[in-house]
Amino acid sequence: MPMDGFFLLEIRRKEDEKMELAMIIFLFIVGIVFIVKGGDYFVDAASWIAEVSGIPKLIIGATIVSLATTLPEMLVSVMAAAKGSVDMAIGNAVGSVTANIGLIMAISLVCMPGIIKRSDYLIKSVLMLAAAALIVFSGFKGETGMAVSAALLVIFILFLWENIASAKRSMKAEEGGEEKKQISGKKEVITNLIKFAVGAVGIVWGADLLVDNGSALATMIGIPERVIGVTIIAVGTSLPELITTITAIIKKQSSLSVGNILGANIIDLTLILPLSAFVSGKALPIAETSARLDLPACLVVGCIAVIPAMIFQKFQKWQGILLLAVYAVYLFLTLGAV
C-alpha cells in the first residue's frame, strides 16, 4: 500500500475514534440528564398520588419519596450487575453514599448548620453506620455473600419499620393524619400520570445509557470501571439530592431534612447491593482497591457526619468542611490509583 494511502487510513481511523468517543460522552451525559429529570418527575408524581390517596406526608417522605430518589442508583447498579459490570455496580452503590455525605450533606452543613433532636436521627444514624460497617467487613472477605445480603435486607426492613412507626407517633401527637388532597380536575390526573410514566421511563432509559456508555468510556480511556462507578456515575445519580439541597439553601429552608439523605444512604447500602447480588445470581466479588479505599471511605464520612451530631445534638459547620476535605482526598487517592 502506498504511504499516502496508509496515512489517510490512519487519519480516518483516528477521526472515527474521536467521533465514537464524542458519541459515547454525549450519550453518557444524556443518560445523566434523563435520570435527573426522570427522577424529578417520578418523585413529584409519586408524592401527588400518595397525597390524593390520603397517605400522610411524613410516611410519603419516609417511604415513597425516599425509594423514588434512590431509583437512579438502584437501576444503574442492578443493570450493571446484570451485564457483568460488578465493579461498577458496587462502586455506584457505595460511591453514591460517599458522594451524598462527603459532598451533598457537607454543602448543606457548611451553609445551614443547626440544632437537632437526637431522637429524630439516632436510629437512622445507627442503621446507616451498621450497614456501612457490614459492607466494610464483607470487603475483608472479598465478596458480598448471601449472608451479608440477608443481613443488609434486615437493616432495610428495620429502617422502613422505624420510619412508619415514627410517622404514626407523629400523627398521634398531631391528633390525626392529613386530609386527602382534592383533585382539581381531569387535567391534573392526566398530567401526573404522564409525569409518573415519563419519569419511570426516563430513569430506566437513563440508567441503561449511563451503564453502557460508562463501561465503554472506561474501556476506551483505560480507566477502571470501579473509578467510573465511584466518581462520575455516583455523582451523576446523586444529582437529584444535590439539586434538592442547593434549592433548599437558596430558599433558606433551615428545616432541610438531613434525615432524607441518611434514609437514601441506608437504601443505597441495604437494598441495592443485595438486589445486585440476586440479579447476578451469585455473591458480588469486591475488588481489593475497593475494599481498601471505597468501602472504608464510605464508613469514615458516615462517622464524621453523624457521631458528633449525636453527641452534641447539632450539625456543625466544621463537620461540613471536614467532610469536603475528606471527600477531596478520597477523590485524589481514587484518581491516583488509576
**Confidence grade of residue 256 (pLDDT, cut at 50, 70, 90):** very low
- For residue 139, the domain's CATH number is 1.20.1420.30
Calculate the CA 137 to chain-centre distance.
Answer: 21
The predicted structure's pLDDT at residue 10 = 65
For the ranges 75-79, 177-181, 220-224, 286-290, which has the lowest average pLDDT?
177-181
Range of the structural domain that residue 50 is part of = 3-336
**pLDDT tens digits for range 264-317:** 788 888 988 888 888 877 778 888 888 888 999 999 999 999 999 999 988 899
Burial class (CB in 10 A: 0-12, 13-18, 19+), 257: middle
Residue listed under C-alpha cell 465503554: 216
Distance of alpha carbon 295 from alpha carbon 140, whole angstroms:
10
Share of the chain above pLDDT 90, in %: 15
Contacts of 115 (CB under 8 A, 6+ apart): 313, 314
Q: Which residue has the higher pLDDT, 117 or 5?
A: 117
Confidence of residue 200 (pLDDT cuts 50, 70, 90): confident
Please state, as a whole number, how many other Cβ atoms lie within 10 Å of the Cβ of residue 102.
Answer: 29
Instruction: Confirm if 90 and 291 have CB atoms less than 8 A apart.
Output: no
Domain count, the chain: 1
Contact criterion met (CB below 8 Å) for 206 and 34: yes
The pLDDT tens digits for 16-45 are: 777 888 888 898 888 888 877 887 787 777
Whole-angstrom CA distances from 25 to 21, 37, 79, 221 are: 6, 18, 19, 11
Q: For residue 161, give the 3-state DSSP assignment.
A: helix
As a whole number of angstroms, the distance between CA 166 and CA 183 comes to 28
Q: Which residues contact 184 (CB under 8 A, 6 or more apart)?
A: none
Give the model's confidence band at 261: pLDDT under 50 very low, under 70 low, under 90 confident, else very high: confident
